[in-house]
Amino acid sequence: MIYLDYSANTPADERVLARFCAVERRCPGNANSHHQAGLDAKAEIDHATQTIARLLRVQPAEIIYTSGASEANNLALKGIAHASRHIGKHIISTQLEHSSVGASLSALQQQGYEIDLLDIGRDGRVDLDQLRELMRDDTILVAVCAVDSELGTIQPIREIAGIVKPYPGCRLHVDATQAVGKTDLWLDGVDAMSFTAHKFYGPNGIGALYKRRGLVIEPQISGGASTTIYRSGTPTLGLAVSLDAALTKALAGQNARNAQVQRLHDRLLAGLQQYSLVRVNSPAHAVPHIVNVSVTGVKGTRFQQALSEQGVCVSVKSACSSDGLPSKAVFAVSRDRRNALSSWRISISHLTTDAEIDGFLQAFDTCYKTLTNKEN
């Protein structure tokens, strides 16, 4: 099997798993309990929180543990919107967002909130001039991903934060799920940021929301004590420690790993560009980990299935999106519905080998010739 779907899920690092197992064996207590076992567990989770905060250059009190980025996005968007409804009900976002953001916006729209979606340029970036035009005194939230999961586009968060700053009633939420370990994180002027461990070689089931100190949000889960008043539930000690370990590893080796991924990306792209019906949808400035392509005249789902039969794992849109519909992200940059329906995503890692790139290109060649009746 050749696994090229690292943007959907990454294998948990052995050292991260070892940390999880060690702390789970050593600390059986509930971190909310006031006996010795509980105090030991609380000390461990406090240490993990302090490390995560130090890595992000924020305060420990600004870290909220969640079950993943989907929950963190829901908490941020709904929590900010509900807490700010006395100021206004206008929200700005984009068509590039993860389904957890899109579905949250749809739910808020049904509650009477007004949603504006920014146009996306041919380079995959949001229209900053349009953002300036859409900002109003009753705008309470701008929600944008740092790196989108389908194209890999890096959004200009610093510039977006500068546009939002003059509006004291507006908050900026950044979904950094696909950004951690791939590009530098910008938090100056950001009010909330979501991420999850399973995108950077940690386990599934643990994520976090950075919430700027002083920002009031409305909790979305009721009952049960936790590490914060904003999210109920028994603290998941082993998973929190795993998030700490995975984030430490991801940020410490980011430059070296990205250089390796860039080299593999260039080999992959050079191979794909030999075929006349291949259209590369990812912009030039996207993270090298994600390559979105279309093969003209062949639906993305059909090409994915053909590759799967050859033992190659790629994805059509993000893993959390509905099948059968054209990619909103690809349509936004190409303005071509057929091209969007034909699109699929390759996502690579520093764990990807040259032999796997060769194997993929060989499988691609077979599928391409079979599905298009063309040699190149």
- 21 a catalytic residue: no
Q: DSSP states of 254-292 as a string? A: HHHHHHHHHHHHHHHHHHHTTSTTEEE-S-TTS-TTEEE
DSSP bridge partners of 338: none
What is the C-alpha to C-alpha distance for residues 240 and 243, in angstroms, rounded to an integer?
A: 5
Hey, what are 66's tokens?
Answer: 């969640």
CB 166: neighbour CB atoms within 10 A?
Answer: 9
Q: How much is the CA Rg of the chain, to the nearest whole Å?
A: 21
Amino acid type, 223: G
Closest to 141 (Cα-Cα) out of 162, 113, 120: 113
Rounded alpha-carbon distances, angstroms, from residue 175 to 151, 210, 295:
15, 10, 29
Q: DSSP assignment, residue 31? A: T
Hey, what are 92's tokens?
Answer: 């700005």
Range 228-266 burial, b when 16+ CB lie within 10 A, else e? bebbeeebbbbbbbbbbbbbbbbbeebeebbebbeebbe
What is the C-alpha to C-alpha distance for residues 136 and 138, in angstroms, rounded to an integer?
A: 5
Q: Are 7 and 347 in contact (CB under 8 A)?
A: yes
Hey, what are 197's tokens?
Answer: 């461990």
Planar angle of CA 66, 71, 75, nearest 5 degrees: 95
Annotated catalytic residue: which of 21, 27, 320, 367?
Answer: 320
Helical H runs in 27-98? 36-56, 69-83
Q: DSSP assignment, residue 281? A: -
What is the C-alpha to C-alpha distance for residues 265 and 267, in angstroms, rounded to an integer?
A: 5
- CA 192 remoteness from chain centre: 14
Q: Are 262 and 285 in contact (CB under 8 A)?
A: no
Catalytic residues: 320
